Homo-oligomer: A and B are copies of this chain.
Amino acid sequence: MENDFLYLSEEDVDFLIGDNYSMVEDVVVEALEHYYHGQALMPDKISLIFDKKNQNRINCMPASITPKNIYGTKWVSVFPSNRSKGIKNVEGFSFLSETVTGKLLCMMNSSITTSLRTAAVGSLAARYLASANTKTIGFIGAGEEAKSHFLLLMNTFPNINTCKFSARDIEDTSALINELEKDYPTVNFIDCKDDYQKAIEASNIIVTAISSQDPVLKADWIEDGMLYIHVGGREDEDEVALKATKIVCDSWEAVKHRTQTLSQMYVNNIIDDSNIYADLHEIIEGKKPGRENEKEFIYFNSVGLSVIDSLLSYKIYELAREKNIGTLLKK
């Protein structure tokens, strides 16, 4: 491999992952384990913002997993302003290399995995933090990230029978429901159009996945027993987090240095370390209990960890080699 590397297109990655969502969740568990046990190097990502108003940006997210001798770097562009142009707003590519001689092993399209791995963190959190009796999920947002969360949550909670989608553009909700309903005949899809409140009320799990800097989720809509999965930037009023029985993060240390709602509340001294119940991994490892009763409102915040991207790239690379998928390119 010294003079070649493997290229995996979106189609290749899609073929390799298929609907093996549990594999993605397993990778998340393993990556968190490496991270929390000091077996990973994960510097802060570099985010360059080209348009403050729209938050058009490109992130560069490296991470190395020491016991595996691998290093991955994801380049991911997030351009919310593309929506109005009819162009996809997220595109990702990754470099994967080994760290024994530092050679590039693979370059792959990471658009699908960017959304799937975020959703896998959410569904993993839901295993521990959602009501065991989860039947209804509600979304603000109907894009790729909302879709991935639906797929992963259905994988975790096959008994979900009601799913409500709302979004800024009402064409988005009907398009997504059309796409999903044939594969999920047991789910009653409710098109809430741009009525966010309708999507939220009486849902066991609520997800905001909308490229917004508006606090669209109102604290008044929160009900006992809900799990809120916060994916994006600033999507909720401060009062939502203040209402929470427990706040759980993928990594609170990483959240502190970003620009999400909790990050901003931390910088503005509205919350501090004492307001955070746990990082997800402490709950997975059994150091702290997850949901303890049906009354708790739990707030889960996912910031996105490059250590997960790197391990997922490696897993996909291994699968590609095993199944002989991809294009070998001369360096």
Tell me whether A75 and B78 are in contact in the complex, defined as CB-CB below 8 angstroms, given that A50-B99, A330-B11 are known contacts. no
Is A35 an interface position by the 8 A CB rule? no
Please state if A77 and B97 are interface contacts (CB–CB under 8 Å).
yes
Is A48 an interface position by the 8 A CB rule? yes
CA distance A2 to B91 in the complex (A): 10
Please state if A99 and B60 are interface contacts (CB–CB under 8 Å).
no
Please state if A62 and B46 are interface contacts (CB–CB under 8 Å).
yes
| Residue of A75, A78, A327, A330 ringed by the most chain B CB atoms within 10 A | A75
Interface residue count on the A side (C-beta < 8 Å): 40
Please state if A46 and B48 are interface contacts (CB–CB under 8 Å).
no
Q: Report the minimal beta-carbon distance from A328 to chain B, rounded to whole angstroms.
A: 12
Q: A102: which of B56, B95, B97, B331 is its contact (CB, 8 Å)?
A: B56
Is A79 an interface position by the 8 A CB rule? yes
Residue of B with least CB distance to A42: B48
Tell me whether A102 and B82 are in contact in the complex, defined as CB-CB below 8 angstroms, given that A9-B329, A60-B46, A87-B2 are known contacts. yes
Tell me whether A97 and B58 are in contact in the complex, defined as CB-CB below 8 angstroms, given that A78-B102, A102-B78 are known contacts. yes
Which chain B residues border A269 with CB–CB below 8 Å? none
A60-102, CB < 8 A from B: 60, 62, 64, 71, 73, 75, 77-79, 82, 85, 87, 91, 93, 95, 97, 99, 101-102
CA distance A29 to B306 in the complex (A): 35
Residue of B with least CB distance to A7: B329
Q: List 29 A-B contacts (CB under 8 A).
A: A7-B329, A9-B329, A9-B330, A11-B330, A41-B48, A46-B46, A48-B62, A48-B71, A50-B64, A50-B71, A50-B99, A56-B99, A58-B99, A58-B102, A73-B73, A75-B97, A77-B103, A77-B104, A78-B102, A79-B102, A82-B102, A85-B101, A87-B101, A91-B103, A91-B331, A93-B104, A93-B107, A107-B107, A109-B331
Q: Kindly list the 7 A-B residue pairs having the minimum CB-CB distance in the complex, ordered from nearest.
A: A77-B102, A79-B102, A50-B99, A75-B95, A60-B62, A43-B46, A9-B330
